[in-house]
Structure formats: C-alpha cells, structure tokens
Structure 1
Amino acid sequence: MATYVDILKSEFPEIDIEVFDYINGVLESGGADFEDGEEVFDAIGGLLQGSSADCKNEDDVRDICLQMFNTLKLNNRHPARKQVLLDAPVQLSQISSDCVSATSDVQGIWMTKRGQNTTVNAKKLEKAEAKLKAKQGRRNEKDSLRPPTQVVLEEASASQASNKKDTRVDMSGKNRSYDIRIENFDVSFGERTLLQGAEISLATGRRYGLVGRNGLGKTTLLKMLASRSLRVPAHISILHVEQEVAGDETDALQSVLESDTVREGLLIEEKTLNTRIANGLAEGMESVRLSEIYVRLEEIDADKAPARASVILAGLGFSPKMQQQTTKEFSGGWRMRLALARALFAKPDLLLLDEPTNMLDVRAILWLENYLQTWQSTIVVVSHDRNFLNAVVTDIVHLHSQQLVSYRGDYENFIKTKEDRLKNQQREYEAQVQYRDHIQVFIDRFRYNANRAAQVQSKLKLLEKLPELKPLEKETEVTLRFPDQFEKLSPPILQLDEVEFYYTPDRKLFSGLSVSADLESRICIVGENGAGKSTALKLLMGDLTPVGGVRQVHRSLKIGYFSQHHVDQLDMNVCSVELLLNKFPGRNEEEYRHQLGRYGVTGELATRPVASLSGGQKSRVAFAQMTMPCPNFYILDEPTNHLDMETIEALGKGLNKFKGGVVLVSHDERLIREVCKELWVCEGGKVKRIDGGFDEYRDILHEQFRKEGYL
C-alpha cells in the first residue's frame, strides 16, 4: 500500500523540498494525533494548494489529505510499517537542531532567509505552523486540566548566598542592629524564577512601598521574608498581615490586646503571683519578681493599652459595640481588619502589609494613612493605591526584570526619577552603540591594509574589552478595552424611585431612596463598610427586589457587573481560554484569546490554570468574562482590588473611553478623581450627592476624625 510520502510525490511532483520536509515532519511526528482528514487539511492543506503545479482546487486537496490520513491511520495500527516512513526525508525539527549545533548564526529553516528561487509561500508556512501549534495547545490544555483534581499548585521557594561573618554575628546574639540587608538571593515560584541575584536593604524606621506589575512576585517576596526563608536577624520581630483572625469567643478588643505577647505574659504572671501570695504560698523571691513585673508594666504603659487598642479599632471602623462583639460574629473582611489592628497594636520591628487598603473603606484608609505616618519601626507595604503610597512611604522598591531597585521618596518621585534614569540609560546605550559603530567602521576600512594592521588589532582588542550592550527592557503598556458598539438609549435608562429595602424588618437599610443614571453617567458610591454600598448596586441591577418603591429600567439596557468577590467565583481548575469557552460556547479559540488579550492575559498566561494566576491576573480574567457579552452599562464593585497601578491607570482610561454608563464603588482616590463626575455618599439609610466631589468628602471625614479624637 502507498505511504503518504508516495501520495505526496505523485500528486505534487514539483513540490518545494523545504515544504516537503516540513509536511513530512508534521505528519511523521503528529500523525497519531490527527482524528480525521479534515484535521490533516487544516494543518497542511494551505501549503499543498500553493505547491500544486496544476492548480488543484480545495476539494481535490481535501481528498488527498483524507488519503494521507488513511495511510497514517493504517500505519499506526501496524507499528512495523513505520520503517517506511522513517526512511522518508529528514524532519524539519532535526534539520533545525543540526543547524543550531553547527553554528549559532543559523536558526533553522523557519528562521532563515529563503533564496529567490524558492516556491515556498512564507505566510502559508507560518499559518500552517500556527494552526498545528494551536491544535497541539488545545490538546495539552485538555490533558492538563482534566480531571480538575490533577491541578497542582506551585510552591514558592527562596535561596540566598551564605555570608559566614553575618551568620556568626547573628548566632552569637551580638547583632543589635535593626537594619536589614539581604544580598544575592533568588526567589522562585514553581519553575518560574521571580528574583535572581537580587538584594534589598531596609533601614530601621523607613517605610517602603514595594511596587511592580502583577505576577512578578511581590506577595511571594513578603512571604519569604515573613517565613524567614530569607535571612532576617533573629532578634527582629516580623508580622505579616496575611490571614484573617480566627473566629472564637474572644471579643474584638481583647483579641487586639492579646497580640502584645509581652504585656499578656506579664499580666498572666502577675495574676499567678498575686494568687500565690493571697494563699500564703509565695516565697521571698516571688515578691521581688512581682515588683519587677509592676515596674515593667509601667514602662510599657500597660494601663493605657486598652485605650490605645480601642483607638486603633475605631480608626479601622469598629464602633464601641462592635469592639465588644466576639470575633466569630464578624465576616471575613472584618476579621482581616482585626488582623491589621492586632499588627498595628503589637508594633513589630518589621511590619509587612499586602494590599491593606483592599479591606478598607475610604474613611478607614484616610485614618490608616495618618496612623502610619508616625510609625517608628520598619514597614514594607505592597499597595496598588497610588495616593496611599504617596501619603505613607519614604522609599519605593521597584521589582522589575527579576531585580529590586530602590528609590528615595514617595511614588510620584519614583515615577519621575525612574523616567529620568531610563532616559539617561537610553542615551548612554545609544552613545555606546555609536562608539562601537565608529570603531567597527575603522576596522572594516583598514582590515586588509598592512600599514594599519597594528591599529586594527588595537581597535579589535578595544571592542573585546567594551562591556556587553543590553538594550533597555521597557515594560509593555497595559491597555483595557471596553467594547461599546451599541445604540444610544434615551434617558432615564436606570432609576430607583422612593425605594425602601431591608433584610430584616427591625433594621431598615434604605428608605426613600431615589437615584437615576444614564449612558452619560460616571458615578462613584462611597461610604463606610456596612452602609449599604453593595446593596445599592444590587438594587440598581435588579438582583434585590425593593420592599417598597419602584425600579425602572430601559428595555435595551445590558448591565455588566463586577463583584468584589468576582475573582473568587472563577473556576480555578481550568485555564482562562477554557473558562470563556464554558461560559460562552460556540466561538473559536481565537475569539477567546483575543478577548483575553484585551485585558493583558496573553501567551502562556491564557493556558495556565486560573488557580496558578496572581490576584491581579485573575481580576483581568474576570474583566474579560464580564465584557464578553458587550454590555452598555457597567456596575463595578471594588474593581481595583488586586490590580497593579499600571492596570488601574489603564482601567481609568478604558472607562473614560467607554461610551456607556458607569456606576462604581471604589476606595481608590485616584481612580475616583479620574473617572467619576458624580459622588454619592451612602450613609444613614440614604444616598446623597456631594457637589464638591471627593475633596468635599475628604474634608468631611477629616473633620469627623478631629471631633472623635482619632487624629
């Protein structure tokens, strides 16, 4: 029986040798994977049509591909026949490896320039190769993602070059410096290297903002510091606000007080000794010890601790009543606030904060900004809130290209200094290139001039000694695009009229709520946590039914909703492409990839399990899912959580270009100022508009702080 090689030679006698080799490699290496003749046609049909001397039509080529598929199928059933195929022309992949091993300047057939006499259509060759890769990619995705239990999350690890001198000093207990310097360390996440040969210096009393794109390793670096996988002197206490407080019978205020282990230990010892003395069991030295405890308690102002803990809790939004509630009564968001309150009260030598503003409303963020400005020990904070960083930090540490670069000053100063540094580096690079070219011109001109041989040799040695030039690695610009191909709608398109709502009759959340929005609206809703912001959004969307009043909506209104818990509701066991496929079936893979690409989820990111993505990358996938149906109105509840600053900037620009309506709940001051034209304050069962915008709202909050004694 004829092999596919025989079919190729007989049907396409004038086929270009390079195309022949390529097709042979495709069919030989992937023959077992093709399911029918149509898949063979998809892989190589375009090339075969271009190689046909007698201009075969598409149907003819399909028939030939079916014949070749049948020979492949038969050959796979009878492995002994594979020897016929192995004697066929060598694979393209083999040619590539041979070429690469022979010389580094040659990169294989698909990368080399073709001679003018070739009949290969380069575009068709690339297209065929892309189709084959896409097909194989789809197979790999399905194999790796099913069953879901096979998804294994990668783990982070760190390694550090040993410094024997520092190790000896640390182990001896003589190191009393609270400065931290970690040199020549690597951090990895699974097989991905996040930091390589990096170093970081943290001076005591300085407040550092750790910034960089999503997924580069900021959170992982904090975890490595907190776990002491990177060497931090043993006498330096570290607190990493990462997990919420466990729910139990301890009230909120007591939970915060217990975070000061020194004070708690002294109080327990005092109580024990007093009991022994009252029962006549105490020995002489125990009375002396009790006196020492009283002195120590006075030194640390132990009697003022409850008042200090109460101020911290109040600043983070806990009312006096809430401070007496048990921790098990609070939701996850409030328990995270408790974890932050405990860390602030305990005053560690190194405080690590990962996106602390995510769990806070605007009021609590403003309080935290003021509180941290007087912090005495060292802070490293990861935050996407540009205004928060400007208010709090004294230094910026930029994670980029697997390195950490430090800048003095706040975030605005970092942006300016970084731009100036990049401009200088670019000028230096261009000057070096020009200098090299100048030397090379001399060498080329006098290479064969005997009288100039010594000078040429000198120039060659000079070129060898010059440092290797590396062009600047510029971060790609982030863009978020919100499709807006829809017709204009006459207002009002969304309206709540005298709405009343409650979850339980004894506690009314809204009464007489009347608001409206149209396609021109850019509205931000602010207010304290628990004031009803998310409930107001759900009433606008129709997810909640008013107890009284009316919700009116235009029949052509199409709402896209982004929940602050949207990211947690994604299917973690599939990749981003498959996630969209499951949610919106019936489209081709390119459409899903294009949609993800609008939000920066490109390349291998789109084929990795969602569970392995960073928080910001998951948010981008959630944006891609939300915008797939092309809504004409967006309701966004805390969309900036987990996004890096570049993506937040892109979000603001994308929303400004969007021609539909936007209602937004956010605590990000910069985004509010950039996008929103109206500010609604949710408070006391009402939603009222503030004419002075965010500036007026900020002034109102500062005045409240002063009256309540929190500043």
Structure 2
Amino acid sequence: MSLLTITDLTLRIAGRTLLDNASLSVDPGRKIGLIGRNGAGKSTLLAAIAGDIALDGGSITLSARATMGRVKQETPSGEASLIDTVLEGDLERTRLLQESETATDPARIADVHERLIAIDAYTAPARAGSILAGLGFDQDAQLRPVSSFSGGWRMRVGLATALFLNPDLLLLDEPTNHLDIEATLWLESWLSKFSGAAVIVSHDRSLLDNTVNAIAHLDKGKLSLTPGGYDNFVRIRTEQALQQNRAAERMAAQRAHMQSFVDRFRAKATKARQAQARLKALERLPQIDSVVEDTPTRFSFPEPQPLPPPMLSLNKVSIGYGDHVVLKNLTLRMDLDDRIALLGQNGRGKSTFAKLLAGRLEAMAGTYTHSPKLKIGYFAQHQADELVLSDTPIDHMSRAMPDAVPAVIRAQLARFGLDADRAETRVSELSGGEKARLLLSLSTREAPHLLILDEPTNHLDLDARDALIRALSEFEGAVILISHDSHLVESVADRFWLVEDGTISSFDGDMAEYRAWLLERARRARAENNERSKGGDGSRESQSPRPSSAQARADRKEQTRALAPLRRKIRDAEDKLAKIEKEKQKIEAKLADPNLYHSGDPGEITSLNVHLAALNATQGTIEEAWLEAQAELEDASQ
C-alpha cells in the first residue's frame, strides 16, 4: 500500500502553472530524490505535500496514522538550549511529559506512561544528542541557547529536529545547503540507514547517488520516476533521448518519402488514387518529437593575464578577529595553476582564510605578499544580502564597471546565463540560483587570476552546477574552493588543504581517502575515549609518559563531554522513578483506606489496582535502564 499518493496534481503560483496533472506514488521506506531546474516547482510541491498551500486540482493523500517530518521554513530561535529545542520538536513526547506531571486520573496516568515507553521517550535525549553531534554540535554547544548561533547553524538545528522525529515520511528541501562536507557525509550515512520514506529536493549529486533509490524529475509540469540514483537517471535519460531522436529521424524520413510521392503523382490520373491513399496514411502517422532540451546552461570565466610565480605567499601569518586568533603560523604558497579545496568543519577558519586572501581581513602577524598585478574574484553566499533588491543586475554591474559600455555589461552578465530579460529583472524577483549567477558575474568582472569560491553552489540547480564545473575546468587561473558538494570538489580540485586545530596543512589524498580518514579519526577518538575511561592495562599505551597537567585537564574535559549523554540519561530515569514512586504512594494510601472497601465503588478499587500494576511495570522497565546506565557510567569512570 502506498504511503503517499499524488494524483493528477495541478499547482499554480501567480498565474503560472508549475504542476499540470502530475502524479507520483511513494511506498513505505522508499527514498525519492526530487530534481528539476530552478523555479520548476520542487519546493512548492513539498509545501503542497505538507499541506501549506491549497491545490488547484487533483489530490495528495497520506496514509492513515502516518507521521510526516519537515524542516520548518523559519529558523529556530529563543533562549532554549539546542538539545531542548530538538526534544521539544517531538510534540507528542512533550505533551505526554507535561501531562504525566499534571494528570490525576489513575487510568490516564498509566496510559501516559505506557505511551512514553512505546515511543522511547526516555532515550530521546541520547538520540537527539547523537544527531546534533553528527551535524557538528559538540556537547558544550548542545547546551548553549539557540539565540547564540548564526542563521546557518540554526538551520542545522531545524534539520536535527526533523531527523529526530524519525517520521514515516521525511520531506527535505536542500538539506546540505548549510552543512560542511563532514556533516554532509554524516547526513548521507543517516539517510541510508533511515527506515522511513523520504522525498528529498537536492542538487547535490553525491547525496542523490548515495541515499535515494529513485529520481522524480519535475519537468514542464510533469513528474517522471526513474529507478536508482542521479547517475543512473542521467544514463537512462540520455539513452531515452537518443532512442527518441532516432525514432523521430526515421519517422521524418518516412514522412518525407510519402510526401514526395504525393507531390509527384497527385496530379496524374493513373496515380491519383495511390497518391490519395498515401496522403491519408501520412495523416495517420504518429507525431514523434525529437528531444530538444531547454537552452543549456553555460558559464564562462574571462581569461586572466599571465603572472610570474609565486602568485602569492604567506610566511608565519596569523589571522583572526579582534584579539581572537583563528589561524596561526600559516606558511603557504599559491601559483596560477593551483586548484585547491579547503577541507574541515565549519567554524574552523576556512572562510576566515578566504577573507584574508581576498583582502577583506588583515593579517595579525606574519607576512602576506602577492604580485602587485594580482586580481582576485571573491564569491561568498552572504554577499547576496548586500544586493539591492530594487535594482536590476544591469544596475549592479553598471556600478561595478562604471567605465564599461552597455554591450560589455550585458556580455558579462550573459557569461553566467543572465539573458536580456533576467538582466532587466529586479533582484527581488530573481531566484536564489539567479542571484548566485549575478554574484559570480560581479566577482569575475575584472578577469581575476585567483577565484575564491565560498559555497558557490548552494542555490544552483544540477545543470548550473555542471556548467560551473565545465567553466572552472576551462579557467586559466587559480581556484580556492570551499564547498560541501563532493562532486564539485572532486571535479575541480587537484590539491587539498586541511583547516584544523588552528592551522592549515596539506592533505595528501583524494575525497575517497578523506572520507576514510574522517571515519578512521572518529573510530580512533571513540577508542581513545574508551581507553581513557578504562584506564591502563599494562599495554604499551598505558606505559606512555604521564601527560601534562594541561593535557590531563583537556582529557578530563573530553571525558566529561563524552559521558554527558549517559549522565543525562541517568538523571532523566531518576526523575521518572521519583514521580512514579510518588504516584504509587498516593494509590497505595487510597487502597489502604478501609472506607474505600466499605463505602467505595468496586470499579474504583479495580481501576486503582490496574493503575498500580501499570506503574509497577513502568518502574521495573525504567529501573533496568537506570541500572544498565549506572553500570556503564561506573565502568567508564574507572
């Protein structure tokens, strides 16, 4: 039985038809990647599935009792901690916990506790903490208020809440836009293990290839389903296009042959009957259109002038903000033929380093030298906030190139697919992808020698991402790339710099080796935590020199962080046991009252005994969990 059924769906926005009698079926556990060009209606379709917008025709049916999870459009806010914000996203759990503290009806109290056990309410803090950790929040960060984080990090909290709900149907709209590569890889792993169904709007080829088992293509108002990931979709679509073009060519040749016979013999009496028959047959021939794709997306970067090496160099450079040093002792060099990707978690200094190279940030110490003729193009997503919404792309480019004639300005915009109509459209009416194209056009207007691209693909569709890869492969200058898009990184970069522990070092390997390195590092960290928790055992590690006091403090702090979820689980269990014991005392006092048996209602006696039995069962379950957690904590603390 289908979990989600979309039948003959029609959706219109501002008079434009986005979906026209489109249909799709999603079975339980099936993960579907929803793709299509910018503006095709993908996000609108998700909003319709979620019930946020009215349908213009057709129907959307979710099976009875199925739950649905979706990242809310508004970012979380407030003074609640991250962990509490995620936990409160489970409305049923929150409501039941509140009711368990206020309910007075014995039967209802028993029902509440049974339901809490059924939904694993008591393990929820550990599950929420694990998801937040996977998305880049350590133990300290999880306890900080949401209001202390930037918008991008708050979006991660919204994603964590949707994943925590573990719904039957998960709706995700560009879930990797605010993630670094590390968090993106974690999300891929989580989704591959997720047992529910999902509809995922994404332009991330790696995510689509590694997590979904079908691709739904939204094109010209229709939905077509192709099994497999994105690579398989491209292969099948290409084969179908070739077959359709061949069939169209054969049919066109047959039509031409028959039309030629009709034209030659229509006027001859001896052939008139045959010509007439051929004419009728010609009318009955099916129409097979050749596959004519929309105008392909093309980007191009202007060619820079040659520069003598080195293009730039850093000698023992430190950078940061105010008195806070983010990166220190950087000794690096770049030449015109370098294609470098910066790896590392968000918040480690990748964007800070990019701002230094772009001249947006001064070095705190050391020497940064570069050729006096060096031109740098800098693209960063936050620059979209600096665009004037009431102006057009032509207005922006005219200010950036005050001496350029109109033809040059339009040509620069056209390099990134902003045609005459879009060039004269107000920025407020441009899509996210079109704004990104405008920023790329602005950042490359002076034919830069070095392109610094900080998350350039967040709002670009798959065709535009491929166009960017092709343009970068033809670009004659150097590239610094910061991106969560593994496909883009693998296609463009030939060197990797790892930004970690306050410095930048070369990473010798490719993306596959980087993934393996991340997994191995996580495995080693878990093993070291376990080893520290268990203490020495006479092995070579236990006989190593005694760590310094600073290292010992760091180890203790790390151990405290590692054990925090376990301690929280124990505290939650103890709180529940205390409430259950208090409720049991009330019931036992009532059952011990002689008046209950002389003048009381027999039904009330039965109800009290049933409630007491339910509380005893719940108490036993929680006590077992508490004992296991306590034993685990004692073992880890030895």
- TM-score over 0.5 (shorter chain): yes
CA contact (8 A) 2:18 2:221 kept: yes
* Paired position in structure 2 for 1:416: 235
Structure 2 residue 115 is the aligned partner of structure 1 residue 296 = yes
Paired residues for 1:17-28 under 5 Å: none
- Tell me which amino acid in the other structure corresponds to 1:308: R
CA contact (8 A) 1:499 1:511 kept: yes
Q: What SS does structure 1 have at the residue aligned with 2:177?
A: helix
CA contact (8 A) 2:304 2:477 kept: no
Structure 2 residue 58 is the aligned partner of structure 1 residue 239 = no
- Tell me which amino acid in the other structure corresponds to 1:449: K
* Paired position in structure 2 for 1:43: none
Paired residues for 1:134-533 under 5 Å: 178-226=2-50, 227-230=52-55, 231-233=59-61, 235=64, 236-273=66-103, 282=104, 286-486=105-305, 488-503=306-321, 505=323, 507-533=324-350
Higher mean C-alpha displacement, 575-584 vs 246-255: 575-584
Q: Separation in 2 of the partners of 1:192 and 1:608? A: 17
- Could you say if the C-alpha distance between residues 709 and 371 of structure 1 is closer, same or farther in structure 2, counting changes exceeding 3 Å? farther
Structure 2 residue 452 is the aligned partner of structure 1 residue 635 = yes
* CA-atom RMSD in angstroms: 2.0
Structure 2 residue 413 is the aligned partner of structure 1 residue 580 = no
Q: Separation in 2 of the partners of 1:705 and 1:378? A: 28
CA contact (8 A) 2:401 2:409 kept: no
* Paired position in structure 2 for 1:607: 424
Q: CA deviation at 1:541?
A: 2.3
Q: What SS does structure 1 have at the residue aligned with 2:298?
A: coil
Higher mean C-alpha displacement, 593-602 vs 577-586: 577-586
- Tell me which amino acid in the other structure corresponds to 2:176: T
Q: Separation in 1 of the partners of 2:402 and 2:14? A: 32
- Tell me which amino acid in the other structure corresponds to 2:89: S
CA contact (8 A) 2:131 2:164 kept: yes
Q: CA deviation at 1:452?
A: 4.0
Q: Separation in 1 of the partners of 2:280 and 2:10? A: 35
Higher mean C-alpha displacement, 599-608 vs 554-563: 599-608
- Could you say if the C-alpha distance between residues 387 and 707 of structure 1 is closer, same or farther in structure 2, counting changes exceeding 3 Å? same
Flag structure 2 segments of 5+ consecutive residues without an equivalent.
Answer: 528-638
CA contact (8 A) 2:384 2:435 kept: yes
Which protein has the larger Cα radius of gyration, Structure 1 or Structure 2?
1
Deviations 1:544-598 (A, max 9, x none): 1222211112111111110121223222212222221233224333222211111
Q: Separation in 2 of the partners of 1:675 and 1:289? A: 61
Q: CA deviation at 1:602?
A: 1.1
Q: What SS does structure 2 have at the residue aligned with 1:380?
A: strand
TM-score normalised over the length of structure 2: 0.78
Q: What SS does structure 2 have at the residue aligned with 1:239?
A: strand
Q: Separation in 1 of the partners of 2:44 and 2:523? A: 38
TM-score normalised over the length of structure 1: 0.70
Paired residues for 1:4-43 under 5 Å: none
Q: What SS does structure 2 have at the residue aligned with 1:628?
A: coil
Q: CA deviation at 1:428?
A: 1.4
Q: Which of 566, 588, 611 matches 2:383?
A: 566
Paired residues for 1:670-685 under 5 Å: 670-685=487-502
Q: CA deviation at 1:663?
A: 1.2
- Tell me which amino acid in the other structure corresponds to 2:290: P
CA contact (8 A) 1:358 1:641 kept: yes
Q: CA deviation at 1:242?
A: 4.7
- Could you say if the C-alpha distance between residues 707 and 208 of structure 1 is closer, same or farther in structure 2, counting changes exceeding 3 Å? farther
Q: Separation in 2 of the partners of 1:316 and 1:467? A: 54
Q: CA deviation at 1:479?
A: 2.0
Task: Report the number of matched residues.
Answer: 521
Q: Separation in 2 of the partners of 1:678 and 1:597? A: 31
- Tell me which amino acid in the other structure corresponds to 1:513: L
Flag structure 1 segments of 5+ consecutive residues without an equivalent.
Answer: 1-176, 274-281
Structure 2 residue 414 is the aligned partner of structure 1 residue 597 = yes
Q: CA deviation at 1:302?
A: 1.1
Q: CA deviation at 1:627?
A: 1.3
Q: Separation in 2 of the partners of 1:425 and 1:179? A: 33
Deviations 1:484-516 (A, max 9, x none): 141x222222122112233354x5322212222
Q: What SS does structure 1 have at the residue aligned with 2:279?
A: helix
* Paired position in structure 2 for 1:18: none
Q: CA deviation at 1:178?
A: 4.9
Q: Separation in 1 of the partners of 2:264 and 2:513? A: 71
Q: CA deviation at 1:358?
A: 1.2
* Paired position in structure 2 for 1:103: none
Q: Which of 461, 475, 481 matches 1:644?
A: 461
Q: CA deviation at 1:698?
A: 1.2
* Paired position in structure 2 for 1:117: none
Q: CA deviation at 1:536?
A: 0.9
- Could you say if the C-alpha distance between residues 485 and 539 of structure 1 is closer, same or farther in structure 2, counting changes exceeding 3 Å? closer
- Tell me which amino acid in the other structure corresponds to 1:517: M
Higher mean C-alpha displacement, 410-419 vs 294-303: 294-303
Q: Separation in 2 of the partners of 1:556 and 1:572? A: 33
Q: CA deviation at 1:298?
A: 1.2
Q: Which of 482, 485, 498 matches 1:665?
A: 482
